[in-house]
Amino acid sequence: MITVSALNALSRVRHAFFTREPGLSEGLYAKNNCGFSSRDDAATVAKNRQRAVESMEMPPEALVTVNQQHTSDVVVAEAPWPQDQMPVADAIVTTRPRLVLGVLTADCAPVLMADSKAGIVAAVHAGWRGALGGVLANTVAVMVEQGAKPDRIIAGIGPCIGQRSYEVGPEFPAPFLEQDETNGAFFTAARRDGHFLFDLPGFVAKQLSRAGVRDIMPTPCDTCREEARFFSHRRATLRSEGDYGRQLSAIALER
């Protein structure tokens, strides 16, 4: 697992950005695939998720995930819900100790946040659609509704696709520039004429900062390039592999 020092410094918070090692899955999903939305064996995925949560010294039955659809929707979790009744959302907030909030990614940015003084944590799945649509600001707002203060929130941006791997077409920057012309700073010219390289973690950090979060710590990883460590939707697409695994990122409050 990967952690960030700013969250490690919080006494009541445990977190982890899990990689694809170790695990039980095979083939395209080797090894630590934690995504039920893949076509991997569901029983194996369940075992991978169980082992991940246990490595955080948390009960595996306390893992809470959502039906991620690249929305800007945020839910507050009070207890685990059945796998077949997951709400559609891309962020989860809780004040409940030992409830493990998890998001699944394979190039999108996982963001884990905590205000330990207020006893509030959050997990966010931030792809470009969700980030542009306001999922990060919405998550901060829900945390504030629960008693957090933006300037006390610590945010860790987990492994995601790096800018040098994220080539986008000529139409891609338009909605970003329409929202704020300064968003042009997150695009550089690609080798192909008219194409760009997009800085997803940088854009995510800016959205967090705009929401009032001051302490933001990214991880220096590129899920597309680091095949031995991470699953990647972009890499699988370029290779026409048909499917891919998902890595879990999780956060929880201690008692």
The domain locations on the chain are 5-162+217-253
Q: pLDDT in tens for each of the 255 residues of the chain? A: 999 999 999 989 999 999 999 999 999 999 999 999 999 999 999 999 999 999 999 999 999 999 999 999 999 999 999 988 999 999 999 999 999 999 999 999 999 999 999 999 999 999 999 999 999 999 999 999 999 999 999 999 999 999 999 999 999 999 999 999 999 999 999 999 999 999 999 999 999 999 999 999 999 999 999 999 999 999 999 999 999 999 999 999 998
Q: Which CATH architecture has domain 5-162+217-253?
A: 4-Layer Sandwich (3.60)
Question: Cα separation of 202 and 251, whole Å?
Answer: 22
User: Any idea what DSSP says for residue 224?
Assistant: T
Q: Most distant CA pair in the chain: distance in Å?
A: 55
pTM, two decimal places: 0.97
What pLDDT is attached to residue 83?
85
Alpha carbons within 13 A on the beta-carbon side of 238: 9
Pairwise CA distance, residues 135 & 122, whole Å:
12
Q: Which residues contact 17 (CB under 8 A, 6 or more apart)?
A: 1, 2, 3, 110, 112, 156, 158, 159, 219, 247, 249
